[in-house]
Amino acid sequence: MAAAHLSAQILQPVLPCCGSFRRVNATGIPSTSPSPLTTTFKTRNQKLKWARKLSLVEQSSPPKPTFDVEGLVSFLYDDLPHLFDDQGIDRTAYDERVKFRDPITKHDTISGYLFNISLLKILFRPLFQLHWVKQTGPYEITTRWTMVMKFMLLSWKPELVFTGTSVMGINPNNGKFCSHVDFWDSIQSNEYFSPEGLWDVLRQLRIYKTPDLETPRYQILKRTANYEVRKYAPFIVVETNGDKLSGSTGFNAVAGYIFGKNSTTEKIPMTTPVFTQALDPDLSDVSIQIVLPSEKDLSSLPDPNQETVNLRKVEGGIAAALKFSGKPTEDVVREKERALRSSLVKDGLKSKMGCLLARYNDPGRTWSFMMRNEVLIWLEDFSLD
C-alpha cells in the first residue's frame, strides 16, 4: 500500500466506470478542477504523457449519489485495519474488476488484489495503521496510512516503511469500490511503473543492525525521501552532562546507574539507543541519556548515587528523524542536522531548537557500515491533514 503527495500538474487516473480526470494537489487530495482526458506535461525535463483513470463522476454538476458515502467511510475505518490479519478485508465491498495501482504494482481484478495482499503477508509481515478516511468527491474516498514491513527472506530482515494516501473510486451503479490508487510520500513519480518507486524499495533493503533491546515507543506518521516524522510516547531517561553530540563523556555515569550504582543497588535492563541531546543553537550544551524500560516510572525508580546524574520524564511529541550509518563523528552529525533542518524548512515544518543524536550500537562490536544512527529534531506541530 502506498501514496504520496504529487505536484499540482500530476493527474490521478480515472477508472473505466467514470468519465473525467481530477488533478491532485500537493497534499495528495484531489481537487475539483476538470482536466482533459490525456495530458502532456514535463517532469524533470522529460516529457511524460499519461492518462490514468480514477474519479468516478463528471466533476461538473455530478449527480447525487444514490448510496451512503458516509457509511462507506465508516466501513473503511472498520475494514482496512484487517488488511493483513487473518480476517482480511471484505471482498464483497469491491467490484470483481477493481483496478489497483501503486508505483510498482498493478492488478485489474479483486482476485489479483487479494493475491497481492497475501504475498505481502508472506514476504514482509506488514503492519498497517490507518490514520484517517475522508470523502474527497461524490464518488471518491481518500485514506491516509502507514505500513511497516520486514523482508523475511533476507537474514538481516530489513525494515521497509511506506506512508501515503489511497484514492478509492466508487462505482455509481452499485456503490462498490472499483478503483484503488496508492501514492507514496517518499517519491514524486507515482504513476505505474515508477523506477523511482522501485529504487525507494531497494534502498530500504540495506543493512542496519538494531540490537534486540527495548527502544522508546513511537509511531511513524510520515516517511519522505529524506526523513521520517514520528510520534513518540513519553519515556524516562537517566542523564548527565556530556561534552559534544558525538562524545561519550558521562556515559559511564549513566550506565553505572542502570548497572546498580543507585540507592537500592537495583540492576535495570539496558535499552537502546543512547541519546546525546543539544538544547542550544550552537549544539554545545549537551547531555547524554539512557532511556529506562517503559514499565518504570519516576516514583518507583531508585535515586542516583551521584549528584550529577538525574532522572527525567520526556513528555514525547512529534520528531523528525534522519537515519544514517557509519561512524557518527561530530562533523558528520552536524552535517546531518543541517540537512534535516533544511528539509524541514523546505517542507514548511517548524522545528524546535537543538537536536538529538541516537546511537543504537556498541561501536566496539559493530562494523561501521552496519551502524544505525539517527539525528532527531523535535517539531513545533505537525498535521496529517
371 & 226 share domain: yes
Residue 4, in any domain of the structure: no
Minimal CA–CA distance to 370: which of 336, 329, 327?
327
Q: Do the beta carbons of residue 373 and residue 331 sit within 8 Å?
A: no
> Cα Rg for the chain, rounded, in angstroms?
24
Give the total number of structural domains in the chain: 2
**Which of the 8 DSSP states describes residue 10?**
P
235 & 199 share domain: no
289 & 184 share domain: no
Question: Could you tell me the three cell numbers for 121?
Answer: 503477508
Residue 14, in any domain of the structure: no
78 & 113 share domain: yes
pLDDT on residue 136: 97
Domain with residue 84: its CATH number is: 3.10.450.50
Question: Of 205, 234, 264, which residue sits at a domain end?
Answer: 205
226 & 361 share domain: yes
β-pair partners for 230: 220, 319
**Which of the 8 DSSP states describes residue 59?**
S
pLDDT on residue 65: 76
118 & 199 share domain: yes
Domain with residue 295: its CATH number is: 3.20.80.10
184 & 236 share domain: no
pTM for this model (two decimals)? 0.85
Question: Of 150, 181, 205, which residue sits at a domain end?
Answer: 205
Place of cell 466506470: 17
pLDDT on residue 385: 82
pLDDT on residue 62: 61
Residue 35, in any domain of the structure: no
- Whole domain around residue 126: which residue ranges? 69-205
Residues 227, 232, 237: CA angle, nearest 5 degrees: 115
* 286 SS3 class: strand
Q: Do the beta carbons of residue 47 and residue 107 sit within 8 Å?
A: no
CB atoms near residue 253 (< 10 Å): 20
Residue 54, in any domain of the structure: no
pLDDT on residue 362: 95
Question: Of 171, 205, 239, which residue sits at a domain end?
Answer: 205
Residue 173, in any domain of the structure: yes
261 & 190 share domain: no
Residue 122, in any domain of the structure: yes
Q: Which positions of the chain have pLDDT values less than 50?
A: 1-16, 18-60
251 & 377 share domain: yes
In Å, the largest CA–CA distance within the chain is 74
Residue 354, in any domain of the structure: yes
β-pair partners for 229: 222, 320
